Every structure is written in C-alpha cells, then in structure tokens.
Amino acid sequence: MSAPAIGGVQAPRGGGQTIRLPRGASLSDFADRIGANPAALVQIMLHLGEMVTATQSVNEETLQLLGAELDYVVQVVSPEEEDRELLESFKIEFGEDEGDEADLAPRPPVVTVMGHVDHGKTKLLDAIRNTNVVAREAGGITQHIGAYQVHAQHEGQDRKVTFIDTPGHEAFTAMRARGAQATDIAVLVVAADDGVKPQTIEALNHAQAADVPIVVAVNKVDKEGADPTKVRAQLTEYGLVAEEFGGSTLFVDISAKQGTGIDNLLEAILLTADAELDLRANPDMDAQGLAIEAHLDKGRGPVATVLVQRGTLRVGESIVCGEAFGRVRAMLDDNMQPVEVADPSRPVRVLGLTAVPRAGDNFLVVSDDRMARQIAQERAARQRIAEMAKAGRRRTLEELFSDYEKGKIDELKLIIKGDVSGSVEALEDALLKIDVGEEVNLRVLHRAVGAITEYDVNLAIADDNAVIIGFNVRPEVRARDLAEREGVDIRYYSVIYQAIEEIEAALKGMLKPEFEEIQTGTAEVREVFKVPKIGNIAGTLVRSGVITRNSKARIIREGVVIADNLTVSSLRRFKDDATEVREGFECGIGVGYNDIKIDDVIETFEMREKPRD
Ligand code: GDP
C-alpha cells in the first residue's frame, strides 16, 4: 500500500476498497478500520479545513470527505440497517412474516387521515369512532390512545379498519423518516367549501411518495357554498382522478359534522384495500410492530400504544420497544377495556415497559427478558452515539472565524419537551424542515417526553442560549426558578403549527412583538370537594402571584398540561366569594373542570401586549 503525504501527514491509501461505518462514527473508528493512526486522520482533516478531534462523532459528509481523500469507498450504515444487523445477531428477523403463503391471513387496513388544516381531520376521526356501533355498544370510556379500530360491513361481511388518530402528515412523515411505515391507506380530507390548499398537496405528495393509495373524503358538504365537483376537478391536476371521471381514485362526499357519508367512506377504504393491496400477515408468530404514541403515566409508568403488524401479542410476553423493554403486564384497547391478545393491525396500549419509547420505534416479542434487556441496552448505546453525531455538526475554520468576527454564531439551538412522544417527534421533524437559507442553522440538542427539568435548563445554559420548547408541558418548580435566574428562554405551545410559525419567524429575524402570556398565579391543589350541581372545587394553597376570579386558567399534573382554556369561575375564601387571593393563602377554586386531583397545579395567566424592543 502506498502512503502519500497529505499535507505532510502519512496515512495508508485504500485503493478504492469499501469500508462500512455506522452513522456517527469518529475518526478513531475510521482509523481502526484502515489500520491508521487516529492522530494522522485528525491532521488530514485539519488540512482539509475542518477541526475535529479523534473521538468526536462526525457526520456522514466528513466520513465521505476523508474516505475520498484516502481513496476508500465509505458506506455509512443507516440506523435501520444497523438495527437489522443487531437483531440478526440475536437471530431475529424484523419486518418479515415467518413461513410461506399458507401461513398468511388477511389483516385490516391501517389508515391515516391527512389534509389541510381546518378541513376536518379531527372531526372526521371523531365521527368515524362515534358512529361505530361496536364502540357505542361497549359503552366504555373511549380515550385517545393514538389509534383505534372500528368495524364496518362490507359486501355482507364484518370487516375491521384501523385508524391512526394523530391527524396530519407531520406524524406520518416523522414515522416514515425513521423508516417506519404504519399506513396502508391515506384518507385525504378536502373541505368542499375551501377546495385544494397547499397542505392538501403536501399530504398528497407524502402519500404518493410512500406509495400509499389515497381515498379522498370531500368534507363539509353540508355547508353553503360547498362544491364537491370542483374538488374532484382540482385534484385531477395532481393525478387523482375520480372514478366518475374515468379514473381509479374513490371520492366520497361526507359531512364529518353531521356524521353523513361515514359508512360510504369506510366502504371506499375497504374497496381500495381489496383492489390495490394484498394485506396479509402471519398471525402465528412472535408479534412485531410499531409504537404509535407513548407517555409516562403517574400510576402506571410508561404506557405505549403499539400497532401489531404481524404475529399476535399476548399479555406476559417479553418485548423490546425501541430502547425500552419489559414484560407486557396488561393491554388495553381504546375503550380502556383489558385485552389478552392482539392480532395483526390491532392497536393496543401496553403497560409494563421500563421506559417511554418514541413514536415510530419498532417493537418485537423476544424469547426472554434477558434478551429484551440486551437489545434495548445496545440500542440505547447506539442512539447516544448517533445523537452526538447530530449535535456535533462540523464547522469549518472559515465558518468559525467569520462567526467570531460577526461576534455571534447564527445558530438556533432547541431543546424540545412534549407530553407524548408522537408530538415531540412530529415537532422536531417539522422544525428541522424549516427552510431558512444559509445564514442560520437550527439544531435540536435534546428531545424527550415529560416536564421540563433542571437537566433541560442546565443543558440550555451549557450550550449558551439554547431555547426550550414546551409542547403541552411545563417546567418543574426548580427548573422554572433556574431558567428565570439564568435568563433561559422557555416557550410553550399546544399547537404544532403555531410552534413552527413562530420559530420560523424567529429564524428569519422577523418575530413581531405580539401578545405574550404572563403567568399571574399558581395554586396547588390540596383537597377536592364535590359540590352538588356545580362539580368539583379544588381546595388550594396559592403558591405564587395572585389568583383572580374570571382569569384564564389551566391545570397541570406532573408538569403536563391536562386541561387548558379554563376560567376561574368561582373563587372563595372560606365561605365567602373573593375577587382575588394572594400567595400564601388558601382558597377554593372552581374552573368548570371535574377531573381535578390532589397535587395538581392550577395556573392562571393573562395575555399582555409584548413591548417592542
Ligand atoms: P383539522 O384541523 O383538519 O383537524 O380540522 P377540525 O376537525 O378541527 O375541523 C375544523 C373546523 O371545521 C371545526 O370548526 C369543525 O367543527 C368544522 N368542521 C369539520 N367538519 C365539518 C363538516 O362536515 N361540516 C361543517 N359545517 N363543519 C365542519
């Protein structure tokens, strides 16, 4: 092997040889593969204009650059490939049905609802669920678990359809970006009074890119000015030609509000599934599938909604789900009824995991707890390396210099905390897609489910001026104090697109002073009283500020907002009505919301116009 001097540094040359490196490898890893001295590679990178240390994770570009320089073909192994190899080392094949044709049985389609904002996605998902006879008869309390299954009559047969009930394509793409595809069919909702809009096209593009057949739900046909024919005409331009126009896409007129056309829509979904897809899975193997949504429950610990894609999941089995593992202690369906077994396409809530998985993480049943633990630990270790690689964006010397010259580094760093992993993933994914030109860069330092902790604030301080995003979560008391003391910016959102809009505006330096939310008081719930005809009243101690009658309020449990848009409708000191109660005093607060528990915090706030600076 010849060893030319690159900038005076000696390193072996590859002669076009291929080497495989995991994403997030360091120069040291590279050096190991080619039998070189890591210090030599550091030197070479320096000559190429990049400062990196030997053990720092570098991005793919850097590995490729170094490979090209040394005449190696570098193959960076994707996280999915890496994971497949990891599972193979345990003799597990993920993503394949065991056996042959004869072992496969039909399974219900899994459907995602997409479309432009306000066109009725949420309403439609509610309508489908409410009109479902079985759910109604069960009479259980339905709860949003990220997905649900309904029954439909089709050609004289009872069939099932599974809906992912996180509407919007952010969730869809976030999963797909992670190599997970849960959706078989996309329902594209278009409001008949509004027609095709930018996000309609975006959703359509996502579905087509993923090769997922589309059924169009033309919604709001009850409204004046509704023009369902126009929607059909508009969509022909994008390759969706209605059957009645000679195409193959099914369009169904519905009113999600009045609950009309829902049966026809279910029928169209099943017709499309039967005509275009061969949805079958082997029900007789260890279950495999995906996590759809997950959160930490106070009493139950980590709770994950998983979608079984093949095999049958049973209570008592050992499972791994992303970096979490455990034994299935119990399973619940979306009516909160216990379930013993879950077959393909069935979404269930699983209790018993050690940690909260991320949306899109795969899950699989393994033979024993030890194997589950090993796989999870191995994944966690790899994930840490990959995150380091993401965070350690390389910067050229030139860039560093010019940044210093300008006296600032134009990079917005974010820490994202949210109530469920689905929203954290979706938010991160959407934020990273914001196109802000070359001068600014956006980096996510950390993302996780749960309240904002001191750790998060410390991370923001350490990385000077990172901003913390709280999506439906709040800081713990000590974290809030620390953030205030250190001037760490924490921003709260409860709607994804609002967060995106604001961050985009901030990145473009156009953030206009607007109204901002000022917290006026907090009160800790000590007791809950039932008052006939009025509902539950919280016996509280005011912890900070002043609680004022008629002010806006929300309820926070374990750092997570569980109810918003409330109003302090009654406020009492002992038996008397009060207009305001200050810090340190006890009072009874009614907010017209019954699910209040001891230790909840009632937060009151008002909107004030932000001064322009
Ligand atoms: P999303 O943003 O797509 O999830 O839209 P939503 O489901 O939140 O609906 C947006 C608005 O349209 C709400 O005010 C709904 O009540 C209303 N809406 C949804 N479907 C219908 C419908 O079929 N008819 C009418 N008149 N209004 C509807």
Asked whether 123 lines ligand 1 (CB < 6 A), one says yes
Asked whether 222 lines ligand 1 (CB < 6 A), one says yes
Instruction: Place 510 in a pLDDT band, splitting at 50, 70 and 90.
Output: very low
Asked whether 372 lines ligand 1 (CB < 6 A), one says no
Asked whether 228 lines ligand 1 (CB < 6 A), one says no
Paired with 517 in beta bridges are 607
The most confident of 78-87, 96-105, 502-511, by mean pLDDT: 96-105
CB 589 within 8 A of CB 550: no
Checking if the pLDDT of 392 tops 50, the result is: no
What is the pTM (predicted TM-score) of this model? 0.63
Instruction: Place 435 in a pLDDT band, splitting at 50, 70 and 90.
Output: low
**Considering only CA atoms, which residue is closest to atom 14 of ligand 1?**
118
Residue 362 CA, ligand 1 centroid: distance in Å? 33
Instruction: Place 400 in a pLDDT band, splitting at 50, 70 and 90.
Output: very low
Q: Cα–Cα distance between 469 and 503 in angstroms, integer?
A: 10
468: left (phi over 0), alpha (psi -120 to 50) or beta: beta
The distance of Cα 52 from the centroid of its chain, to the nearest Å, equals: 32
Residue 219 CA, ligand 1 centroid: distance in Å? 8
Q: Which domains does the chain have, with CATH numbers?
A: 1-77 (no CATH), 108-278 (3.40.50.300), 403-510 (3.40.50.10050), 515-609 (2.40.30.10)
What is the rounded average pLDDT for all residues in the chain? 84
Task: Report pLDDT for 497.
Answer: 80
**Considering only CA atoms, which residue is closest to atom 25 of ligand 1?**
220
Higher pLDDT, 275 or 38: 275
Residue 123 CA, ligand 1 centroid: distance in Å? 6
Residue 466 CA, ligand 1 centroid: distance in Å? 37
Residue 220 CA, ligand 1 centroid: distance in Å? 7
* Weakest mean pLDDT among 52-56, 99-103, 598-602: 52-56
Checking if the pLDDT of 587 tops 60, the result is: yes
Quick one: CA torsion of 528, 530, 535, 537, rounded to 10 degrees?
A: -30
Instruction: Place 396 in a pLDDT band, splitting at 50, 70 and 90.
Output: very low
What is the CA angle 22-359-172, rounded to 5?
100
Residue 253 CA, ligand 1 centroid: distance in Å? 14
Share above pLDDT 90 across residues of the chain, in percent, rounded to a whole number: 40
Q: Token pair of 221, please? A: 């046909």
Instruction: Place 390 in a pLDDT band, splitting at 50, 70 and 90.
Output: very low
Higher pLDDT, 456 or 125: 125
Higher pLDDT, 433 or 322: 322
Asked whether 219 lines ligand 1 (CB < 6 A), one says yes
Q: Which atom of ligand 1 is nearest to the CA of 258?
A: 23
Instruction: Place 275 in a pLDDT band, splitting at 50, 70 and 90.
Output: very high
* Weakest mean pLDDT among 40-54, 369-383, 495-509, 567-581: 495-509
* Weakest mean pLDDT among 127-136, 289-298, 441-450: 127-136
Task: Report pLDDT for 436.
Answer: 58
Burial code (b: 16+ CB inside 10 Å, e: under 16) for 385-411 equals bbbebbebebbeeeeeeeeeeeeebeb
Residue-wise pLDDT tens digits, 140-187: 566 778 899 999 988 889 999 999 987 555 566 666 655 668 899 999
Match 């995003």 to its residue by tokens. 469
Task: Report pLDDT for 405.
Answer: 42
Residue 432 CA, ligand 1 centroid: distance in Å? 28
Residue 120 CA, ligand 1 centroid: distance in Å? 4
Asked whether 413 lines ligand 1 (CB < 6 A), one says no
Checking if the pLDDT of 4 tops 60, the result is: no
Task: Report pLDDT for 309.
Answer: 96
Higher pLDDT, 402 or 344: 344
Ligand 1 mutation pick, 227, 257, 264, max ligand atoms within 8 A of CB: 257
Match 């996780």 to its residue by tokens. 448
Asked whether 411 lines ligand 1 (CB < 6 A), one says no
Task: Report pLDDT for 174.
Answer: 62
Task: Summarize the confidence of residues 95-117 as an average pLDDT.
Answer: 92
Task: Summarize the confidence of residues 582-605 as an average pLDDT.
Answer: 92
Q: Which atom of ligand 1 is nearest to the CA of 123?
A: 7
Q: Which atom of ligand 1 is nearest to the CA of 116?
A: 3
Paired with 148 in beta bridges are 163
Ligand 1 mutation pick, 118, 194, 265, max ligand atoms within 8 A of CB: 118
Residue (of 550, 557, 548) closest to 521 by Cα position: 548
Checking if the pLDDT of 199 tops 50, the result is: yes
